[in-house]
Chains A and B, each alone.
Chain A
Amino acid sequence: MPKVVTDIICPFCGTLCDDIECTVSDDNKTILSVKNACAIGAEKFNHQKLPGRVTRPRMRQADGSFKEVSYDEAIDWTAKMLVASKKTLMYGWASTSCQAMSIGHEIAEKVGGIVDNCATVCHGSSLIAIEDVGVPSCTLGEVKNRADRVIFWGCNPAHAHPRHMSRYSIFPRGFFTVKGHKGRKIYVVDCRYTDTAKCADTFIQVQQGYDYELLNAFRTAARGESLPDTVGGVPKEKIYEVVAELKEGRFGIIFFGMGLTHTMGRNHNIDIAINLTRDMNDFTKFSIMAMRGHWNVTGSGQVLGWQYGFPYAVDLSRRDQARHQTGETTSVDLLVRNEVEACFYIATDPGAHFPVDAMISSSKKPTVTVDPHINCTTEISDIHIPVAMVGVETGGCAYRMDNVPIETRKVVDAPEGMLTDEELLTRINKRVDELMAAGGA
Chain B
Amino acid sequence: MNTVTMNVNKIPELYFECENVNPDTFAGKKAAEIAALKGYQGKKISTLGEYFTITGDAGATAADTKIVINGDCTKMKYIGAKMSAGEVVVNSSTDMYTGSWMTGGKLLIKGNVHSFCGLAMKGGEFTVEGNAGNYLGAAYRGDWRGMSGGVLRVKGNAGSDVATFMIGGELIVEGDVDIHIGTHMEGGKIIVKGNANRRVGGQMVKGEIYVFGNINVMMPGYKYKDEVDLEVDGTKAKFIEYIGDLGERHPKKKGEMVYGKLYMKK
Contacts and interface: CB of A to CB of B under 8 A. Distances in A.
Given A220-B220, A226-B223, A265-B179, A111 B43 contact: yes
A188 to B, nearest CB: 21
A223 B244 CA distance: 12
Contact of A327 (B134, B198, B245): B134
Contacts of B255: none
B203 interface: yes
Interface in B124-152: 134-135, 141-142, 144
A225 interface: yes
Contacts of B203: 216, 271-272, 275
A434 interface: no
A7 interface: no
Contacts of A228: 220
B180 A87 contact: no
A328 B116 contact: yes
* Residue from B42, B134, B135 with most neighbouring chain A CB atoms (10 Å): B42
B98 to A, nearest CB: 13
Interface in B160-180: 165, 179-180
A227 B220 contact: yes
B41 A87 contact: yes
B183 A268 contact: yes
Interface in B101-125: 115-116
B178 to A, nearest CB: 10
A325 B141 CA distance: 7
A265 B116 CA distance: 17
A341 B14 contact: yes
A112 B41 CA distance: 10
Contacts of A222: 247
Contacts of A237: none
Nearest to A333: B115
Nearest to B140: A325
Looking at chain A's contact residues, is the secondary structure mostly helix, strand, loop, or mixed? loop
A80 to B, nearest CB: 15
Chain B contact-residue range equals 20 to 34
Contacts of A271: 183-184, 203
Interface string A65-101: 0000000000000000000011100000000000000
A337 B15 contact: yes
Given A317-B42, A327-B134, A339-B14, A268 B199 contact: yes
Interface string A126-150: 0010011000000000000000000
B43 A216 contact: no
A228 B13 CA distance: 53
B71 interface: no
A105 interface: no
Nearest to B217: A213
A324 B141 contact: yes
Interface string A207-235: 00010110011111011011110010000
B202 interface: yes
Given A225-B246, A268-B199, A318-B43, A328 B96 contact: yes
A319 interface: yes
B52 interface: no
B40 interface: yes
B248 interface: yes
A352 interface: no
A340 interface: yes
A423 to B, nearest CB: 26
Nearest to A338: B14
A264 interface: yes
A404 interface: no
A86 B220 contact: no
Nearest to B142: A131
Interface string B234-263: 000000000001111000000000000000
A326 interface: yes
B156 interface: no
Contact of A219 (B134, B179, B183, B221): B221
B49 to A, nearest CB: 19
A18 B171 CA distance: 53
B15 A339 contact: yes
Contacts of B247: 216-220, 222-223, 225
Contacts of B13: 86, 341
A326 B141 contact: yes
B219 interface: yes
A400 B126 CA distance: 46
Contacts of B180: 265, 268
B257 to A, nearest CB: 11
B116 A327 contact: yes
Contacts of A226: 223, 246
The 4 nearest A-B residue pairs measured at CB:
A219-B247, A87-B42, A112-B43, A131-B142
11 contacts: A85-B42, A216-B219, A219-B247, A265-B199, A271-B203, A318-B42, A319-B43, A324-B141, A327-B134, A328-B115, A339-B14
